[in-house]
Structure 1
Amino acid sequence: MCSAKACRNGAVWVLVWNNPKVHTPDRRKTWVACEEHREHLSHFLDLRGFLKDVVTLEQWESVPRDG
């Protein structure tokens, strides 16, 4: 489900981010976004220097991860 406030649409995008004041450089946090909110949420993170990557949910789920 989309991370935008009050949105109940299905997620299509994964926004990968990191707050360098709080997280170690290798730490990655994620928000998910529907098509409608991808640009808004990406812009919000990018303005703060947090945005690291934007990939489709399908791409994100296809990459093996630890844990």
Structure 2
Amino acid sequence: MGNTAPDTHCSRRDCRATADWALVWNNPKIHTPDRRKVWVACDEHREYLANFLDMRGFLRETVPMAEFEG
């Protein structure tokens, strides 16, 4: 696995800020347990996106982009 490009933009709709966080998630109803999907977030939208995923039971971890290998 390689590092994500440094110019990755936040996954929040209409946000063009550089992403500082990787939100790793999985929907257990449709994904196998080892499958991981990733949304990326800027500092401003990290909590919003993490809460959205966590309320659904999807969020697995939040990792700084500098440490993320995906």
TM-score normalized by structure 1? 0.90
Q: How does 1:43-54 map to 2 (within 5 A)?
A: 43-54=51-62
What is the letter of the counterpart of residue 60 of structure 1? F
**Aligned with residue 27 of structure 1, among 13, 21, 35:** 35
The corresponding residue for 1:12 is: 20
Structure with bigger helix share is: 1
1:7-40 alpha-carbon deviations (Å, 9 max, x no partner): 0000000000000011000000000000000000
- Alpha-carbon shift at residue 45 of structure 1 (Å): 0.1
Which runs of 5 or more structure 2 residues have no equivalent in the other structure?
A: 1-8
Q: Percent identity?
A: 61
What is the letter of the counterpart of residue 67 of structure 2? Q
The corresponding residue for 2:47 is: 39
What is the letter of the counterpart of residue 49 of structure 1? G
Instruction: Give every structure 1 segment of 4 or more consecutive aligned residues whose post-TM-superposition deviation is greater than 4 Å.
Output: none
